Structure 1
Amino acid sequence: MSEKNKGVSRRNVLKVAGGAMAATGVAGLAGAKGKVEVNVGVRGKRARRAAENAADHVVRDFDSLDVMTIRASAKAVKGLAKRKNVRYVEKNGTVEALAQTLPWGIDRVDADVAHSNGDTGSGADIAILDTGIDSDHPDLQANLGTGKDFSGKGTWEDGDGHGTHCAGIANAVNNSEGVVGVSTEATLHAGKVLGDDGSGSFSDVAAGLEWAADQGYDVASLSLGASSGSSTVKDAVDYAYNNGVLVVSSAGNSGPCSDCVGYPAAYSNAIAVSSTDSDDTLSSFSSTGSEVELAAPGGSIYSTYQGGGYDTLSGTSMSCPHVSGAGAQLMAKGQTNTEARSTLQSTAEDIGLGSNEQGYGLLDVEAALNGDTGGGGGDCLDATQWPSGTGSSGAENIDTVALGGDVSKSSADNAYEDFTCAGPVTVSPGGSFDISLDYSDGGFDSHYANVYVDWDQNKDWSTATETVVMQDVSDDTSTYTATVDVPSDAPTGETLVRVRLSWNAFDGPSATGEYGEVNDFTVEVQ
């Protein structure tokens, strides 16, 4: 059930200049002349005195080790090496700091921007339901919680590498070495539902999901799949989701194909994730279908691997933990699994792929976190649908979208833009809430605005449940607040609201046909 495509393995090994330690003789000093700096392993006081006498300068005398670092002539050093009570003499070589790599996928989804903003996922729990996790890996140790084996192996340690790779994508430590994850300080839990051969049973996967839910973990990351469904796995997905777990699953590696999303990704209570390459194209191997909810980087992803090393793998298995790490970030900030799911949807970036390929779009971690208002208000951040050259500004619980002069009007036809509100609005069926429209003077006699509110989030305005507010506002009116009636069948509690604004502006009587630009026209959703 696993998806795996190994690249060239890279190990986290110190680079040491000079020779290795020698039992006898002079390591790394062949042909040396003049003054040299060496480490001398001594045995007893006589050897220490001999090293001191040979030295022009004692650089370091270790208190707890029978070692001295000295500068001396090459001739004197070679004489020391011949003494029986000198254990070794080696050149005092250098080691190099291992720079941390920013994998292209982490960069592409702007997770690094989120890190610089202080978002780390601290306090969230991610269950990696996979082949296990390497508990000794230096990039994962600090974030590792507990684990459980469901495969019959007897240990949740990773004997394959796939689970460790996924864990690093989701949540590798930001520690100046190795790699960094989407989240950096969440707690990882290893549910070993796949054996060291990369396969497992439906029952094992279901047991892992049940465990994640019963433990109260925030995210269950499933980089695995099967071509056919399982009622047992579906029951487990539903159980986990209904108990507050954000279930994320890889769409599958059956591409190129259509309508071939695997299971459990195809279940409605799981987020199905497709794969993109570094040029924002769909990965050739990625499964597609109407169930795809988000796209994320999956081609040639560099991450942690079994044995303390690193490897480059490709697959929707790699896409899945990108979304899992982002979900953990949102839930660490107080969002529920359903709120986090809606936020990820509404802030995804449209990269021009088909809806069956990208779903709502490419994961955008920074936008999702920037849109998170802790459960209050609404930020309209779907910038991919704004006219080119426009931008947004806003404060907590409010966002202002400015439509600039490039949306010029040459006819009476209404223009429109869609704004997806990332922050949930608390509503009650049959109740109401307010939308505030702020019209700045653009030099026109009148502004006409229609506001449509879609409760279904189905991306199809023709079939959406809509509330329409119409207003004719003259130049001497700067703001207008409309009360939006909540349908009796609207979802209860906190929900996302998608708003479409259409407008028409003209200079002079409409009969003259003197239409112009819309300048500094803003809409505020509070």
Structure 2
Amino acid sequence: MADTDNGVSRRNVLKIAGGSMAATGLAGLAGAKGQVEVNVGFKSERGRQVALSQADETVRNFNSLSIVTAKMPAQAAKGLRKNPNIRYVEMNGTVHAHAQTLPWGIDRVDADVAHSNGETGNGADIAILDTGIDSDHPDLQANLGAGKDFSGKGTWEDGDGHGTHCAGIANAVNNSEGVVGVSTEATLHAGKVLGDDGSGSFADVAAGIEWAADQGYDVASLSLGASSGTTALKDAIDYAHNNGVLVVSSAGNSGPCTDCVGYPAAYSNALAVSSTDEDDSLSSFSSTGSEIELAAPGGSIYSTYTGGGYSTLSGTSMSCPHVSGAAAQLMANGASNTEARQTLKNTAEDIGLGSNEQGAGLLDVEAALGGGGGGSDPSLAVSTGSASNVGTSSATLSGDLTDLGGASSVDVYFEYGESGTTLDSTTATQTLSTAGSFSADVSNLNGNTDYDFRAVAEASDGDTDAGSAVTFTTSGSGGTTGPAVDSLSVNNRSNGGWARFEVSWSVSDADGDLSSVALALAQSSTVDSSTTSVSGSSASGSDRLQEKKGSGSYDVTVTVTDSNGNTASQTTTVSA
């Protein structure tokens, strides 16, 4: 019978709120000749000695595992398999890094957009209070700080995989392999409060929370829970909150249900997170209740795993570190725990779920950081795009207002003039109340002439900004064979949060002087665009056009331009 304490079964402990696992292995001695390098698993000291006696060279002696890696003749290795003291003999194969992928959850909460804006969480500290972290994982090593074991294991290394998975969601390194986290340069600290079986006592978890607060860490990420709480656990949560820690906790996997948020998520000083799937629906397993403050991706999330690997898991456990990584970025910018918590809720995206399911809404990292997070003021920002539809006397100029800088509206326009002179001509002013692309047509230009232009923004609060100057050349009066749009197809990838289209195109020019291909997504005006430089007599490609929270009918236009300024366009209408 399990031990009890204050009427609570010792096994009524906090469980990980996560999902399935997967493992792979290596083998293959059949047909091997000459010397081989093998991993030998042995049952006893006698087995180890037998393996070493056959080795020409000992490559590695493991500290805790009953394994030795050695080089030996292939025939000797095959013979070891028959020894009753040997568990297995397998080739020591090679593991290769996967190219970095962008998990759907990171994309959905726009963390990748925040990365491109320079937001990395550098300077913040995240305590992953879980089953530990794989300290050798190539996607986590550069971000690892301290660790401490509270489970009695004697090491904070992850023997389960759950903690490593959560760590990668919150803060995997943005490199050329594996995955990328919501934050990418915060410091991860491993508080092993759950054993390798995925469970731990209330006291272990409370001690881990106390440790995170005493170390001065910014965020405590708790992807764990129980159906009931204890005063000791609540005391620890309150202590961390009062000492500046933002405690983020998974709501639990008791769904479908109502008013079933677990503990510690149900405590007022913990930020409770529910789970959504890729279509923005509530995950079937997600707990719900009035305590929910935010929703975040939790269904089928791909992230780091033990053994330097990667795995796909589901659970509110996966939702929690999405929010933890976002909070770290805000606190790296100077926000307090309460400011970060409020900013995350103020900027969340309403995805149409009940308040007991989504709280304030779905986590939106880009919006939270654009709102300043209490640490740094946002800045007005505009960039110059490209010139399209360039002819002998006219062109279309484009720009992008990337941040209103906190203003209610911004006036945008273009300055332009012949290269080498002042930009003394301007287009009509357009007033924008949201960030996005804009364009304007100019005419009465001179043929076969270089022109410079730049985008300019003037905010309602007095701030101004201008993009860098861009050059284009009008075509001569003579004429050549113009280019042609050979194909245009659109794959509708829209969901509840985005009007999103994958546009495939092919173009050609008999003269072999292709110059550029411009794509535009428009309703009453252009909402997104892209330009690709091309050359030769034919080209093809694929680009994504999208509008956040967009709906209805859109015109998708592809325009091809040759080096003489001749153009051809094709438009198709699609619906989100």
TM over 0.5: same fold?
Answer: yes
Question: Does the 8 Å CA contact 1:373/1:397 hold for their aligned counterparts?
Answer: no
Question: Does the 8 Å CA contact 1:209/1:240 hold for their aligned counterparts?
Answer: yes
Report the counterpart of residue 176 of structure 1 in structure 2. 176
Question: Does the 8 Å CA contact 1:393/1:401 hold for their aligned counterparts?
Answer: no
Report the counterpart of residue 457 of structure 1 in structure 2. none
Report the counterpart of residue 253 of structure 1 in structure 2. 253
Is 1:396 aligned to 2:410, yes or no? no
Aligned pair count?
326
Q: Tell me how far apart the structure 2 counterparts of residues 105 and 215 of structure 1 sit (CA, whole Å).
A: 30
- Give the secondary-structure state (helix, strand or coil) at the position aligned to 2:205: helix
Report the counterpart of residue 120 of structure 1 in structure 2. 120
* Change in 2 beyond 3 A, CA 1:22/1:179: farther
Question: Does the 8 Å CA contact 2:127/2:221 hold for their aligned counterparts?
Answer: yes
Report the counterpart of residue 267 of structure 1 in structure 2. 267
Report the counterpart of residue 4 of structure 1 in structure 2. 18
Report the counterpart of residue 469 of structure 2 in structure 1. none
Question: Does the 8 Å CA contact 1:102/1:180 hold for their aligned counterparts?
Answer: yes
Superposed, which structure 2 residues align to 1:206-217 within 5 Å? 206-217=206-217
User: How big is each residue's C-alpha offset from its partner over 1:110-167, in whole Å with a ceiling of 9 and x where there is no partner?
Assistant: 1111111111111100000000011111111110001011111111111111101100
- Give the secondary-structure state (helix, strand or coil) at the position aligned to 2:326: helix
TM-score normalized by structure 1?
Answer: 0.58
Report the counterpart of residue 34 of structure 2 in structure 1. 23
Report the counterpart of residue 146 of structure 2 in structure 1. 146
Which residue identity is paired with 2:343? T
Question: Does the 8 Å CA contact 2:274/2:288 hold for their aligned counterparts?
Answer: yes
* Change in 2 beyond 3 A, CA 1:98/1:392: closer
Report the counterpart of residue 359 of structure 2 in structure 1. 359
* Change in 2 beyond 3 A, CA 1:317/1:97: closer
Question: Does the 8 Å CA contact 1:9/1:312 hold for their aligned counterparts?
Answer: no
- Give the secondary-structure state (helix, strand or coil) at the position aligned to 2:200: coil
Q: CA deviation at 1:9?
A: 4.2
Question: Does the 8 Å CA contact 1:126/1:187 hold for their aligned counterparts?
Answer: yes
Deviates more, 1:96-105 or 1:215-224: 96-105
Give the structure, 1 or 2, with the largest relative contact order (CA under 8 Å, sep 6 or more): 1
User: How big is each residue's C-alpha offset from its partner over 1:211-268, in whole Å with a ceiling of 9 and x where there is no partner?
Assistant: 0000000000000000002111111101101110010000000000000000000111
* Change in 2 beyond 3 A, CA 1:96/1:321: closer
* Change in 2 beyond 3 A, CA 1:373/1:251: closer
For structure 1, the residue ranges without an aligned partner over 5 or more in a row are 14-18, 26-93, 380-390, 403-418, 420-435, 439-526
Superposed, which structure 2 residues align to 1:11-160 within 5 Å? 23=34, 98-160=98-160
Which residue identity is paired with 2:405? E
Q: Tell me how far apart the structure 2 counterparts of residues 111 and 163 of structure 1 sit (CA, whole Å).
A: 21
* Change in 2 beyond 3 A, CA 1:353/1:153: same
User: How big is each residue's C-alpha offset from its partner over 1:386-435, in whole Å with a ceiling of 9 and x where there is no partner?
Assistant: xxxxx998543434399xxxxxxxxxxxxxxxx9xxxxxxxxxxxxxxxx
Q: Tell me how far apart the structure 2 counterparts of residues 99 and 120 of structure 1 sit (CA, whole Å).
A: 20
Question: Does the 8 Å CA contact 1:376/1:397 hold for their aligned counterparts?
Answer: no
Question: Does the 8 Å CA contact 1:216/1:245 hold for their aligned counterparts?
Answer: yes
Which residue identity is paired with 2:324? S
User: How big is each residue's C-alpha offset from its partner over 1:373-392, in whole Å with a ceiling of 9 and x where there is no partner?
Assistant: 6547799xxxxxxxxxxx99
Is 1:165 aligned to 2:179, yes or no? no
Q: CA deviation at 1:343?
A: 0.6
TM-score normalized by structure 2?
Answer: 0.53
Report the counterpart of residue 190 of structure 1 in structure 2. 190
Is 1:369 aligned to 2:369, yes or no? yes
Question: Does the 8 Å CA contact 2:221/2:320 hold for their aligned counterparts?
Answer: yes
* Change in 2 beyond 3 A, CA 1:354/1:401: farther
Q: Tell me how far apart the structure 2 counterparts of residues 97 and 220 of structure 1 sit (CA, whole Å).
A: 30
* Change in 2 beyond 3 A, CA 1:181/1:375: closer
Q: CA deviation at 1:24?
A: 6.2
Report the counterpart of residue 334 of structure 2 in structure 1. 334
Question: Does the 8 Å CA contact 2:137/2:307 hold for their aligned counterparts?
Answer: yes
User: How big is each residue's C-alpha offset from its partner over 1:469-505, in whole Å with a ceiling of 9 and x where there is no partner?
Assistant: xxxxxxxxxxxxxxxxxxxxxxxxxxxxxxxxxxxxx
User: How big is each residue's C-alpha offset from its partner over 1:291-316, in whole Å with a ceiling of 9 and x where there is no partner?
Assistant: 00000000011111111111111000
Which residue identity is paired with 2:217? Y
Q: Tell me how far apart the structure 2 counterparts of residues 437 and 245 of structure 1 sit (CA, whole Å).
A: 34
Which residue identity is paired with 1:340? A
Report the counterpart of residue 286 of structure 1 in structure 2. 286
Report the counterpart of residue 78 of structure 2 in structure 1. none
Q: Tell me how far apart the structure 1 counterparts of residues 170 and 279 of structure 2 sit (CA, whole Å).
A: 21
Q: Tell me how far apart the structure 1 counterparts of residues 207 and 358 of structure 2 sit (CA, whole Å).
A: 30
What is the aligned-residue RMSD (CA, Å)? 3.1
Which residue identity is paired with 1:275? S
Which residue identity is paired with 1:5? G
Q: Tell me how far apart the structure 1 counterparts of residues 378 and 97 of structure 2 sit (CA, whole Å).
A: 45
Q: Tell me how far apart the structure 1 counterparts of residues 405 and 96 of structure 2 sit (CA, whole Å).
A: 45
Q: CA deviation at 1:363?
A: 0.4
For structure 2, the residue ranges without an aligned partner over 5 or more in a row are 1-14, 37-93, 380-399, 412-432, 434-459, 463-576
Q: CA deviation at 1:371?
A: 1.1
* Change in 2 beyond 3 A, CA 1:400/1:140: same
* Change in 2 beyond 3 A, CA 1:355/1:152: same
Question: Does the 8 Å CA contact 2:127/2:212 hold for their aligned counterparts?
Answer: yes
Q: CA deviation at 1:95?
A: 9.9
Question: Does the 8 Å CA contact 1:225/1:263 hold for their aligned counterparts?
Answer: yes
Question: Does the 8 Å CA contact 1:326/1:365 hold for their aligned counterparts?
Answer: yes
Which residue identity is paired with 2:216? G
Superposed, which structure 2 residues align to 1:403-482 within 5 Å? none
Q: Tell me how far apart the structure 2 counterparts of residues 217 and 349 of structure 1 sit (CA, whole Å).
A: 28
* Change in 2 beyond 3 A, CA 1:235/1:318: same
User: How big is each residue's C-alpha offset from its partner over 1:77-99, in whole Å with a ceiling of 9 and x where there is no partner?
Assistant: xxxxxxxxxxxxxxxxx997631
Q: CA deviation at 1:347?
A: 0.6
Q: Tell me how far apart the structure 1 counterparts of residues 254 and 304 of structure 2 sit (CA, whole Å).
A: 25
Q: Tell me how far apart the structure 1 counterparts of residues 150 and 96 of structure 2 sit (CA, whole Å).
A: 41
- Give the secondary-structure state (helix, strand or coil) at the position aligned to 1:204: helix
User: How big is each residue's C-alpha offset from its partner over 1:327-351, in whole Å with a ceiling of 9 and x where there is no partner?
Assistant: 0011011111111001100110000
Q: Tell me how far apart the structure 1 counterparts of residues 344 and 144 of structure 2 sit (CA, whole Å).
A: 25
- Give the secondary-structure state (helix, strand or coil) at the position aligned to 1:265: coil
Which residue identity is paired with 2:34? A
Q: Tell me how far apart the structure 1 counterparts of residues 254 and 213 of structure 2 sit (CA, whole Å).
A: 29
Superposed, which structure 2 residues align to 1:216-227 within 5 Å? 216-227=216-227
Larger fraction in strand? 2
Q: Tell me how far apart the structure 1 counterparts of residues 290 and 401 of structure 2 sit (CA, whole Å).
A: 31
- Give the secondary-structure state (helix, strand or coil) at the position aligned to 2:99: coil
Report the counterpart of residue 347 of structure 2 in structure 1. 347
